[in-house]
């Protein structure tokens, strides 16, 4: 004796009874999942583009949907998480600026980038093992106009780059740019000359923005003009502006961005990490060479 179709599917009551929900055998139903055709009751059915689906098929479909990624492989940020890293960096810079106002020159002298100098009966500087100055100097500002201009620039460049790269890659880009700027300044400047400010990191973001724009085929003329104006201001005021930090940050950020943005989808993470490590290795070599020269 052959079996009816209802007898052969799970979740049916048998040859004489109506179908029952596969999750609730005590509930009769005439609704079936459009994917697996199992009977589902009103509490279990989930609206779909066509008909209804059962909870199991909905979960399976969710697992199969690939998470949206940006051109650099970063997660697409939600509205509530937009520019969270940029805002944090701005907050850190402002917090350090307030600390400078409260503590004064002693704090600046301890955190500013300087190669080597004699103070208070002892030698100070990066060459004396104070490596932290390579980072702290990039968050240090003394004048309101200085931090104001830098934070406006960070707010302009940060959010689009953070959205395109993802938070982790954006942080890496910012730090590599900052270290690139302080490293070149340390290499070329007089060991006794101090340097501070986030400008090196910002020039790195400038370079990265141009790389990203080229990758996405944007009109780069406005950004190119803005970068050219900033470089012109830099070289017209070489006595008061540390051009070395600007160029170092620009080169480091541009090179890092090329690896981040142009890495193919296959082995993307490996290539991106390798690029960041390669740029970082060059920075370390620069610092070690300069330290050997002046220590």
> Based on the domain organization, do 165 and 282 belong to the same domain?
yes
Min mean pLDDT across 43-57, 70-84, 181-195, 258-272 is at 70-84
R_g of the chain computed on alpha carbons: 29
Q: Tell me what pLDDT residue 76 has.
A: 65
Q: Tell me what pLDDT residue 16 has.
A: 55
Residue 113 bridge partners (DSSP): 195
* Residues labelled catalytic: 199, 246
Query: Is 266 within the bounds of a domain?
Result: yes
Q: Tell me what pLDDT residue 59 has.
A: 81
> Based on the domain organization, do 84 and 23 belong to the same domain?
no
Which pair of tokens denotes residue 100? 């400078």
> Based on the domain organization, do 255 and 130 belong to the same domain?
yes
Query: Is 72 within the bounds of a domain?
Result: no
> Based on the domain organization, do 163 and 247 belong to the same domain?
yes
> Based on the domain organization, do 103 and 212 belong to the same domain?
yes
Residue 101 bridge partners (DSSP): none
> Based on the domain organization, do 42 and 124 belong to the same domain?
no
pLDDT tens by residue, 10-27: 444 444 577 888 888 888
Residue 2 has pLDDT above 60, yes or no: no
pLDDT confidence bin for 130, thresholds 50/70/90: very high
> Based on the domain organization, do 57 and 146 belong to the same domain?
no
Boundary (domain end) residue, out of 7, 31, 65? 65
Domain that holds residue 58: 16-65
Q: Tell me what pLDDT residue 146 has.
A: 93
Min mean pLDDT across 117-126, 152-161, 171-180, 199-208 is at 117-126
CATH of the domain at 199: 1.20.1540.10
Average pLDDT over residues 144-172: 94
pLDDT tens by residue, 249-275: 999 999 999 999 999 988 999 999 999
> Based on the domain organization, do 98 and 224 belong to the same domain?
yes
Query: Is 269 within the bounds of a domain?
Result: yes
* Distance from C-alpha of 123 to C-alpha of 181, rounded to nearest angstrom: 23
The number of domains in the chain is: 2
Query: Is 283 within the bounds of a domain?
Result: yes
pLDDT confidence bin for 169, thresholds 50/70/90: very high
Query: Is 8 within the bounds of a domain?
Result: no
pLDDT confidence bin for 121, thresholds 50/70/90: confident
Residue 65 has pLDDT above 70, yes or no: no
* Distance from C-alpha of 83 to C-alpha of 85, rounded to nearest angstrom: 5
Q: Tell me what pLDDT residue 3 has.
A: 41
* Distance from C-alpha of 177 to C-alpha of 77, rounded to nearest angstrom: 23
Q: Tell me what pLDDT residue 66 has.
A: 58
Which pair of tokens denotes residue 24? 């609730």
SS (H, E, C) the chain: CCCCHHHHCCCCCCCCCCCECCCCCCCECCCECCCCCCECCCCCCEECCCCEECHHHHHHHHHHCCCCECCCCCECCCHHHCCHHHHHHHHHHHHHHHHHHHHCHHHHHHHCECCCEEECCEEECHHHCCCCHHHHHHHCCCCHHHHHHHHHHHHHHHHHHHHHHCHHHHHHHHHHHHHHHHHHHHHHCCCCCCECCCHHHHHHHHHHHHHHHHHCCCCCHHHHHHHHHHHHHHHHCCCCCCHHHHHHHHHHHHHHHHHHHHCCCCCHHHHHHHHHHHHHHHHHHHHHHHHHHHC
> Based on the domain organization, do 179 and 40 belong to the same domain?
no
Query: Is 255 within the bounds of a domain?
Result: yes
> Based on the domain organization, do 109 and 237 belong to the same domain?
yes
Query: Is 7 within the bounds of a domain?
Result: no
> Based on the domain organization, do 22 and 155 belong to the same domain?
no
> Based on the domain organization, do 170 and 240 belong to the same domain?
yes
pLDDT tens by residue, 202-229: 999 999 999 999 998 888 898 899 999 9
Q: Tell me what pLDDT residue 216 has.
A: 87
pLDDT tens by residue, 97-114: 999 999 988 899 999 999
Query: Is 3 within the bounds of a domain?
Result: no
Boundary (domain end) residue, out of 65, 95, 124? 65
Mean pLDDT over the full length of the chain: 87
């Amino acid at each position: 004796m052959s079996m009816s179709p209802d007898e052969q599917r799970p979740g049916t009551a048998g040859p004489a009874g109506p179908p029952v929900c596969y999750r609730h055998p005590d509930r009769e139903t005439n609704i079936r999942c459009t994917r697996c055709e199992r009977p589902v009751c009103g509490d279990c059915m989930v609206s779909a583009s066509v008909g209804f689906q059962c909870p199991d098929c909905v979960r399976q479909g969710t697992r199969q949907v690939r998470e949206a990624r940006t051109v650099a492989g970063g997660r697409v940020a939600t509205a509530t998480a937009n520019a969270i890293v940029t805002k944090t960096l701005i907050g850190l810079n402002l917090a350090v600026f307030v600390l400078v106002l409260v503590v004064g020159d002693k704090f600046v002298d301890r955190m500013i980038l300087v190669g080597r100098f004699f103070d208070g009966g002892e030698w100070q500087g990066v060459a004396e093992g104070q490596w932290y100055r390579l980072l702290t100097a990039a968050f240090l500002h003394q004048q309101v106009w200085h931090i104001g201009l830098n934070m406006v620039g960070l707010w302009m460049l940060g959010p689009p780059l953070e959205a395109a790269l993802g938070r982790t890659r954006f942080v890496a880009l910012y730090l590599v740019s900052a270290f690139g700027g302080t490293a070149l300044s340390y290499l070329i400047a007089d060991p006794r000359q101090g340097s501070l400010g986030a400008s090196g990191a910002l020039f790195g973001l400038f370079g990265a923005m141009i790389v990203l724009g080229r990758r996405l085929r944007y009109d780069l003329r406005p950004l190119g003009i803005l970068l050219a104006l900033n470089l012109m201001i830099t070289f017209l005021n070489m006595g008061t502006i540390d051009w070395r930090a600007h160029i170092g940050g620009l080169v480091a950020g541009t090179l890092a961005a090329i690896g981040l943005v142009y890495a193919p989808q296959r082995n993307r993470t490996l290539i991106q990490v390798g690029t960041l490590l390669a740029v970082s290795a060059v920075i370390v070599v620069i610092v070690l060479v300069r330290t050997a020269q002046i220590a």
